Amino acid sequence: MKMVLNDKTRLKVALMDDKINQLCGYKTNALMSNLNSLTQFGSVEVGWRESCGTTDLTHKVYREWKKILTMLKKEGIVLKEERIKHDNAYATISGGFWNSIIYSIVSNGKVV
């Protein structure tokens, strides 16, 4: 199921991406990329590294992604979240654990 976003949401996500790009020091546009995958294909897997002593950039991106999910819910879009169990249940070289969730569109908020 595909969804259509309003321009206001896309603008907010672009501004959030700009903030993340400044933190990273290069253009990632990870938030818009995730959102585009969700709108075009109906699902997206979002991953992050956790518990690595300091807040990893991937975790900062995930925190911003959670804000986008809140915006989508306010628009009436219903998503299913499926946490993925990774075989690497041990710390990475930097001391963190990898997590990810697949988000799938259940309802796009509009009666068809």
Residues forming beta bridges with residue 79, ordered by sequence position: 105
Residue 15 pLDDT: 94
In the chain, domain spans: 7-107
Q: Residues 32-59, buried b or exposed e (16+ Cβ, 10 A)?
A: bebbeebbeeeebebbbbeebeeebbbb
* Statement: the pTM of the whole predicted model exceeds 0.85: no
Residues forming beta bridges with residue 54, ordered by sequence position: 52
Q: What is the pLDDT along the chain (112 residues), one digit of tens a residue?
A: 567 778 888 899 999 999 988 887 888 889 999 999 999 999 999 998 877 666 778 888 999 999 999 999 988 899 999 999 877 656 556 667 888 999 999 987 654 3
Q: Read off the tokens for 21.
A: 């790009």
